[in-house]
């Protein structure tokens, strides 16, 4: 007849088994699942832990102590790192005499800016370079956070391979998105045959400050046919003499002379208008 093991023997056996399962690691290694910064507040990743005993055998589930050198940048709990704000933090783990650490970078986008020249006047069939600059909270550009481009009307304008393409006359809104941020750009595409413009009248004289007069602009294609969908921008060379509205309405401000110019794109199709602004007692 077999006798059952005593309670003391069972306790000793349990301690030996538990000690074998939880033998202290002789070495530790930490690694990130992806070698890249964290790009969102609250984004997390779980560090990979390799613990080996003195014989080079894996130690399963070692009881590690975790610490972050900058918990305001990245905190850590049981190997799970959580991004808080832009910066760098050293995440360390220890058990017994074994130590290991890894540097974690957090770079959270805070600004998205679109860079393009001449998007308010793009000829149909043409394209211009377009890019988006993304910066983190510290003002450092982020090169590994590409924007997502979209358009409100792909039949008017779209972004392809770093180029803003004018498809057909019309207006469209181009959006660069780096979640949760976005930046929009208003684009106007005009007919490719736009050739010249005229301003009427070419000379205005004001009798008193505050007087208002209207300028008119006419645009034509290369065959002399009038166009009605060409965007025009107005400028005054001296706003202390006269101001001009986006529709070409000119208002006298003070005595002197100024030049008001209507422009359409980069073409040399601008018309200059000279004003002699007079006060009421002159």
**Span 156-184, pLDDT tens digits:** 999 999 999 999 988 899 999 998 899 99
- Which has more confidence, 205 or 150? 150
What pLDDT sits at residue 129?
A: 95
This prediction has a pTM of 0.64
In the listed set 155, 190, 225, which residue is the last one of a domain according to the structure? 190
pLDDT per residue over 91-139, tens digit each?
999 998 899 999 999 999 999 999 998 777 888 999 999 999 999 988 8
Both 181 and 207 in a single domain? no
In the listed set 190, 212, 234, which residue is the last one of a domain according to the structure? 190
pLDDT per residue over 27-47, tens digit each?
999 999 988 899 999 999 999
Which domain covers residue 174, as residue numbers?
A: 109-190
Confidence of residue 13 (pLDDT cuts 50, 70, 90): very low
pLDDT at 4 over 80: no
Beta bridge partners of 149: 176
What pLDDT sits at residue 23?
A: 65
Examine residue 60 and state whether it is found in any structural domain, yes or no.
Answer: yes
Examine residue 79 and state whether it is found in any structural domain, yes or no.
Answer: yes
Examine residue 9 and state whether it is found in any structural domain, yes or no.
Answer: no
Both 138 and 182 in a single domain? yes
Examine residue 13 and state whether it is found in any structural domain, yes or no.
Answer: no
What pLDDT sits at residue 281?
A: 46
In the listed set 56, 74, 106, which residue is the last one of a domain according to the structure? 106
What pLDDT sits at residue 6?
A: 52
Given the structure tokens 């000279």, which residue do they identify? Answer: 274
Both 234 and 269 in a single domain? yes
pLDDT at 282 over 70: no
What pLDDT sits at residue 128?
A: 94
Least confident segment among 61-70, 133-142, 172-181, 267-276: 267-276
Both 198 and 181 in a single domain? no
pLDDT at 207 over 90: no
Both 214 and 251 in a single domain? yes
Structure tokens at 142: 């982020």
Both 180 and 117 in a single domain? yes
What pLDDT sits at residue 90?
A: 97
Both 200 and 178 in a single domain? no
Residue 91 belongs to domain with CATH number: 2.60.40.1080
**Total domains present in the chain:** 3
Examine residue 151 and state whether it is found in any structural domain, yes or no.
Answer: yes
Both 38 and 77 in a single domain? yes
Examine residue 166 and state whether it is found in any structural domain, yes or no.
Answer: yes
What is the residue-averaged pLDDT of the chain? 85
């Amino acid at each position: 007849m077999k006798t059952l093991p005593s309670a003391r023997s069972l306790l000793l056996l349990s301690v030996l088994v538990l000690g074998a399962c939880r033998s202290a690691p002789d070495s530790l290694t930490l690694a990130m699942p992806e070698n890249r910064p964290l790009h969102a507040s609250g984004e997390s990743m779980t560090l990979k832990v390799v613990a080996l005993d003195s014989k080079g055998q894996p130690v399963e589930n070692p009881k590690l102590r975790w610490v972050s050198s900058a918990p305001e940048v990245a905190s850590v709990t049981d190997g799970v790192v959580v991004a808080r704000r832009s910066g760098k933090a050293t995440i360390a783990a220890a058990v017994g005499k074994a130590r290991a650490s890894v540097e974690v970078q957090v770079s959270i986008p805070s600004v998205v800016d679109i860079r393009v020249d001449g998007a308010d006047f793009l000829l149909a069939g043409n394209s211009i370079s377009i890019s988006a600059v993304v910066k983190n909270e510290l003002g450092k550009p982020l090169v590994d956070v590409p924007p997502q481009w979209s358009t409100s009307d792909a039949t008017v304008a779209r972004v392809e391979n770093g180029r803003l393409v004018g498809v057909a006359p019309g207006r469209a809104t181009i959006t660069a998105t780096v979640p949760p941020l976005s930046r929009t750009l208003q684009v106007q595409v005009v007919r490719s045959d736009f050739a010249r413009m005229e301003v009427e009248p070419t000379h205005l004289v004001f009798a008193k400050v505050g007087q208002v007069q209207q300028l008119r602009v006419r645009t034509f294609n290369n065959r002399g046919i009038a166009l009605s969908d060409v965007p025009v921008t107005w400028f005054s060379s001296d706003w202390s003499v006269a101001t001009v509205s986006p529709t070409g309405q000119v208002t006298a401000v003070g005595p002197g002379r100024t030049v008001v110019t209507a422009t359409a794109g980069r073409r040399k199709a601008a018309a200059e208008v000279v004003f002699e602004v007079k006060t009421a007692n002159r």
